[in-house]
């Protein structure tokens, strides 16, 4: 089974979202999300795997996320999804199906809270791309404290946008 990376943004309380939406809007962070998840080996596409609630939180005009193979995790076998978007009934099912596809380059787990919690415990998770945003956004979904298995590889400079400060950090599993 292929390894995968997790990509997420958190506030200072490790908050991820509120009311099934992102409580911030940072174009530089969205740019980083595209820069990390889109570029793929020639002739292939990367895959993004997300929970059903995160899929539903994406504005209709942004889904499926373009230039990437979209997979939605859900136990609902009858879940209606557009052509080209796959459902998987478990994280392992998604990883097996994507590993078997010759047209898939890298796999990214893109949320939300339920899926991140399982993903970072998974032995095939070898990288975390984290955006740390200063401030408390009264979130209702949280990320667990990062396990000591993950070592900080690099931190970016601090960015500022809409009076918010944030920083990108890359972690790798030891
Ligand atoms: N800050 C960030 O980086 C970031 C990124 C993404 C999302 N978010 C935020 O996170 C929140 C959504 O997160 P959430 O925790 O509520 O929901 P979620 O993780 O997006 O989705 C949960 C749903 O996914 C399905 N699911 C999860 N794990 C599964 C598994 N192992 N096997 C089969 N199905 C599985 C289930 O769907 P069924 O009920 O259909 O079975 C479950 O109800 C929103 O506020 C969103 O904006 C934040």
Domain boundaries, the chain: 4-173
Helix runs in the chain, H state only: 27-37, 52-57, 91-99, 113-119
pLDDT at residue 7, as a whole number: 98
Answer yes or no: is the C-beta of 22 below 6 A from any ligand 1 atom: yes
| Closest atom of ligand 1 relative to the 19 alpha carbon | 45
pLDDT > 90: percent of the chain: 98
Answer yes or no: is the C-beta of 58 below 6 A from any ligand 1 atom: no
Q: Considering the entire predicted model, what is its pTM? A: 0.98
For 153-166, the pLDDT digits (tens) are 999 999 999 999 99
Cα–Cα dist 60/136, whole Å: 28
Choosing from 29, 51, 62, 124 the residue with most ligand 1 atoms within 8 A of its CB, the one to mutate for a pocket test is 51
Q: Are 8 and 129 in contact (CB under 8 A)?
A: yes
For 47-72, the pLDDT digits (tens) are 999 999 999 999 999 899 999 999 99
The CATH number corresponding to 4-173 among 3.40.430.10, 3.20.190.10, 3.30.70.3170, 3.40.50.920 equals 3.40.430.10
Distance 115 CA to ligand 1 centre (A): 5
Task: Give the residue from 123, 167, 168, 117 showing the smallest Cα distance to 146.
Answer: 117
Distance 57 CA to ligand 1 centre (A): 9
Q: Are 22 and 124 in contact (CB under 8 A)?
A: no
Choosing from 54, 79, 130, 136 the residue with most ligand 1 atoms within 8 A of its CB, the one to mutate for a pocket test is 54
For 114-131, the pLDDT digits (tens) are 999 999 999 999 999 999
Cα–Cα dist 56/92, whole Å: 21
Distance 161 CA to ligand 1 centre (A): 27
Bridging pattern class, strands 45-51 and 68-73: parallel
pLDDT at residue 17, as a whole number: 98
| Closest atom of ligand 1 relative to the 7 alpha carbon | 3
Burial class (CB in 10 A: 0-12, 13-18, 19+), 38: middle
The CA distances from residue 53 to 16, 58, 73, 110, in Å, are 13, 9, 9, 12
Answer yes or no: is the C-beta of 112 below 6 A from any ligand 1 atom: yes
């Amino acid at each position: 089974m292929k390894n995968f990376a997790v990509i997420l943004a958190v506030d200072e309380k490790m908050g991820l979202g509120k009311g099934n939406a992102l409580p911030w809007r940072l174009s530089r962070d969205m740019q980083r999300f595209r820069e990390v998840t889109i570029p793929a080996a020639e002739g292939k596409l990367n895959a993004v795997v997300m929970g059903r609630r995160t899929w539903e939180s994406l504005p209709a005009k942004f889904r499926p996320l373009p230039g990437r193979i979209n997979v939605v995790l859900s136990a609902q076998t009858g879940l209606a999804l557009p052509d080209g978007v796959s459902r998987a009934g478990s994280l392992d099912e998604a990883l097996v199906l994507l590993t078997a596809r010759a047209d898939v380059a890298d796999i990214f787990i893109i949320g939300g809270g339920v899926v991140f919690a399982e993903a970072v415990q998974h032995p095939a998770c070898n990288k975390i791309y984290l955006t740390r945003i200063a401030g408390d956004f009264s979130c209702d979904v949280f990320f667990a404290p990062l396990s000591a298995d993950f070592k900080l590889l690099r931190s970016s400079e601090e960015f500022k946008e809409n009076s918010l400060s944030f920083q990108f950090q890359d972690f790798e599993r030891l």
